Amino acid sequence: MKVLVPVKRVIDYNVKVRVKADGSGVDLANVKMSMNPFDEIAVEEAIRLKEAGKVEEIVAVSIGVKQAQETLRTALAMGADRAILVVAAEDVHQDIEPLAVAKILAKVVEEEQPGLVIAGKQAIDNDMNATGQMLAALLGWSQGTFASKLAIEGDHALVTREVDGGLQTVKVKMPTIVTVDLRLNEPRYASLPNIMKAKKKPLEEKTAADYGVDVTPRLEIVTTSEPPQRAAGVKVGSVDELVAKLKEAGAV
Amino acid sequence: MAVLLLAEVTDGELALDATAKTVTAAAELGEVTVLCCGTSAAAAGDAAAKIEGVAKVLVAENESLGHRLAESTAALIVSLADDYEHIVAPATTDAKNVLPRVAALLDVMVISDVSAVVDGDTFERPVYAGNAVQTVKSKDVKKVVSIRTSTFDAAGEQGAAPVETVNAAEDPGLSEWVEDKVAESDRPELTSAGVVVSGGRGLGSEEDFELIEKLADKLGGAVGASRAAVDSGYAPNDWQVGQTGKVVAPDLYIAVGISGAIQHLAGMKDSKIIVAINKDEEAPIFQVADYGLVADLFTALPELIEKLD
Ligand SMILES: Cc1cc2nc3c(=O)[nH]c(=O)nc-3n(C[C@H](O)[C@H](O)[C@H](O)COP(=O)(O)OP(=O)(O)OC[C@H]3O[C@@H](n4cnc5c(N)ncnc54)[C@H](O)[C@@H]3O)c2cc1C
Ligand SMILES: Nc1ncnc2c1ncn2[C@@H]1O[C@H](COP(=O)(O)O)[C@@H](O)[C@H]1O
């Protein structure tokens, strides 16, 4: 079985996000960019399935600016076999919406015929949590979202999902789309030799137009602003003082 | 303009708080019809009919709709979608599972985690773990929207609106429910509790995490946790507060042994009063805390529990 893993290039989760003063967005020029943390978990899961003999080939796909090449190289260095870059934007500030990403991924799925797609549950930039579900809809496939456990068993998969009430396990028909949550696994770091080897792995470059997908956003971003800041509080010197303050504020 | 609101129904029971808060947001968009679905949903429908601002309730009962499976629930919503311009649900894990599927089937974008309604096409939503707020204007004919319940007040009560039954759509037969692992608890629900006490890695073990639970019980509150506490096995996954966990805005939030990473702040910084207890005076959590106590939690917590008598 072949597995497709969509990986997104996003602002590194450790970077302090700066909203541009003119309200036009978040400053992404010259900031550290990395693979979306959930997608590292997705790549790791694909590699573990390959190591377990359930998967033959792992194809990583990224959609966005040309620089997403670096993200794909990271996936290759971790252990993906080949990569597809779909260039759909020129400006690093242009985010491709989940619907357009899902449409492109649906075309890639048609071409590549994977038996499984493993995506992240959420991109930490737009915080949409949508692409996997949208892709499943477009393909008419089942979906196993927010996975903390995945077991492939022939023509179906058992997916344990992190839900508001606790955990839910569902049995989904293959082929399927799984989106991964934080506790599915701990992604490996790429070793230096593997980073060198990754440079020789195939990375195919395409454009959104090659797939005939219109990536014009459906949601116009009118403004981007700073969230309201909290006023500075006080330090209390003791538990007694804390209790007194809370009583004074009517909080306890 | 008509709004279809997918109610949060679990095992036949309506999650009243989440649904009533979403009704408040949906009422700004148009006349609200609530959809309750599941293996059994009639009781939930009757409860939803009494939420102020609800014009009508649709009840769909079918085995295939049990356990909130995305594939069959999305098919049902799409079968009803013609009559509505907005399709809305609380931003729970259930709705986040279903709504993007609905949106893609309708060829529209989903608008996730909306924190304010500007007008019928325009919405505010936090992005980048709440470090920025985007105002987005939809160009789609239909708007599929999930509502961040922590920023809306619950709608009140009314005399019951009419309830109709509708048929389930054909079951796509793609998925089956196997089991739910849900911890029973007498504590208030995390996202609607007035008080939340959360513990982090500083607690050091599952046994010591009970200190957090004791303080929560003393205050009649819910228990939350940081990702590190959940990853380390001190607390179950459904207690995680943050960018990728639950978003809470209680009257009182007490963070103990939590450093205050931006991903954690994303889930609690709209709380009314924030208390932080941490032994590191440089911990970023103090930047959002109204009252900060620099102390070892293992001495401060027992003392606090005792002195709140
Ligand atoms: C994609 C992604 C998503 C994430 N989503 C979330 C999320 O939803 N929610 C979330 O919480 N995190 C999330 N995180 C993780 C986040 O970045 C932090 O790693 C996490 O919040 C840290 O948890 P912590 O504060 O408990 O642990 P630490 O950062 O290790 O802090 C522990 C604190 O305890 C204090 N301490 C230790 N011992 C004592 C003592 N005896 N007395 C008093 N204080 C003590 C220390 O001074 C320290 O400040 C996410 C990360 C990523 C990459
Ligand atoms: N531009 C993209 N390129 C590749 N994968 C993406 C892209 N956008 C989203 N994804 C995938 O979809 C997941 C969820 O993203 P989102 O729906 O934007 O929150 C991510 O974790 C990725 O696996």
How many angstroms from the chain centroid is the CA of residue B133?
19
B65 has pLDDT over 90: yes
Burial A1-10, CB ≥16 within 10 A → b, else e: ebbbbbbbbb
> With a CB-CB cutoff of 8 Å, which residues 24-53 of chain A face chain B?
26
Residue B263 is labelled as binding a ligand: yes
B183 has pLDDT over 90: no
Do residues A52 and A78 make contact, with C-beta atoms less than 8 angstroms apart?
Answer: no
Output B225-231 pairs: Cβ under 8 A, ≥24 positions apart: B225/B198, B225/B199, B225/B200, B226/B198, B226/B199, B226/B200, B226/B201, B226/B258, B226/B259, B226/B261, B226/B264, B227/A182, B227/B263, B227/B264, B228/B200, B228/B201, B229/B199, B229/B200, B229/B201, B229/B203, B229/B258, B230/A183, B231/A182, B231/A183
How confident is residue B19, by pLDDT bands cut at 50, 70 and 90?
very high
pLDDT at position A119 is 99
pLDDT at position A8 is 98
By CB atoms closer than 10 A (0-12, 13-18, 19+), residue B13 is middle
Report the separation in Å between the CA atom of B276 and the middle of ligand 1, taken as the mean of its atom positions.
13
pLDDT at position A231 is 86
β-pairing, A234-236 vs B291-294, is parallel
Report the separation in Å between the CA atom of B262 and the middle of ligand 1, taken as the mean of its atom positions.
9
Q: Do B178 and A158 touch (CB under 8 A)?
A: yes
pLDDT at position B309 is 78
Record the tokens describing residue A155, joined without a space.
Answer: 């023509």
Q: Do A225 and B132 touch (CB under 8 A)?
A: yes
pLDDT at position B275 is 98
Q: Do B175 and A134 touch (CB under 8 A)?
A: no
Which residue from A3, A9, A36, A145 has its CB within 8 A of the most atoms of ligand 2, so it is best to mutate?
A36
Q: If you average pLDDT over residues A206-213, what whole number do you get?
A: 98
Record the tokens describing residue A90, joined without a space.
Answer: 């020129």
Q: If you average pLDDT over residues A111-131, what whole number do you get?
A: 98
How confident is residue A235, by pLDDT bands cut at 50, 70 and 90?
very high
Dist CA A92 CA A153 (whole Å):
40
Out of B100, B289, B308, name the one closest to residue A243 (CB): B308
E-assigned strands of B104-142? Answer: 110-114, 116-117, 122-127, 132-138
Q: If you average pLDDT over residues A130-154, what whole number do you get?
A: 98
Chain segment B132-167, per-residue pLDDT in tens: 999 999 999 999 999 999 999 999 999 999 999 999
Q: If you average pLDDT over residues B177-203, what whole number do you get?
A: 95
ipTM: 0.97
Q: If you average pLDDT over residues B12-29, what whole number do you get?
A: 97
pLDDT at position B184 is 84
Phi and psi, residue B4, nearest 5°? -105, 125
Report the separation in Å between the CA atom of A187 and the middle of ligand 2, taken as the mean of its atom positions.
17
Classify A33 as helix, strand or coil: strand
How confident is residue B1, by pLDDT bands cut at 50, 70 and 90?
confident
Q: Does the beta carbon of B108 lie under 8 angstroms from any beta carbon of chain A?
A: yes
If we measure between CA atoms, which residue out of B246, B227, B222, B238 comes closest to residue B181?
A: B238
pLDDT at position A128 is 98
Task: Show the DSSP H helices in chain A as ranges.
Answer: 37-51, 68-78, 98-112, 131-139, 192-198, 239-248
Out of A17, A148, A230, name the one closest to residue B131 (CB): A17
Residues forming a β-bridge with A119 = A179
What SS3 string covers B216-262?
Answer: HHHCCCEEEECHHHHHCCCCCHHHEECCCCECCCCCEEEEECCCCCH
Dist CA A190 CA B243 (whole Å):
26
A82 has pLDDT over 90: yes
Q: Does the beta carbon of B251 lie under 8 angstroms from any beta carbon of chain A?
A: yes
C-alpha radius of gyration, chain A, whole number: 21
Q: If you average pLDDT over residues A126-134, what whole number do you get?
A: 98
A96 has pLDDT over 90: yes
pLDDT at position B77 is 98
Q: Do A171 and B289 touch (CB under 8 A)?
A: no
Classify A43 as helix, strand or coil: helix
| Global pTM value | 0.97
**Of the bound ligands, which one is closest to the alpha carbon of residue B100?**
2
Chosen for mutation from A14, A97, A133 (greatest number of chain B CBs closer than 10 Å) is A133
CB-based pocket (< 6 A), ligand 2: A 6-8, 36, 38-39, 42, 61-64, 96, 98, 101, 119-120, 122-123, 126, 128-132
pLDDT at position A90 is 96
**Percent of chain A at pLDDT above 70?**
100
How confident is residue A86, by pLDDT bands cut at 50, 70 and 90?
very high
Q: What is the DSSP letter of A156?
A: E
Out of B94, B288, B300, name the one closest to residue A230 (CB): B288
Q: Does the beta carbon of A95 lie under 8 angstroms from any beta carbon of chain B?
A: no
Phi-psi domain of B68 (left: phi exceeds 0; alpha: psi -120 through 50; beta: other)? left
Classify B271 as helix, strand or coil: coil
**Percent of chain A at pLDDT above 90?**
97
Chain segment B241-277, per-residue pLDDT in tens: 999 999 999 999 999 999 999 999 999 999 999 999 9
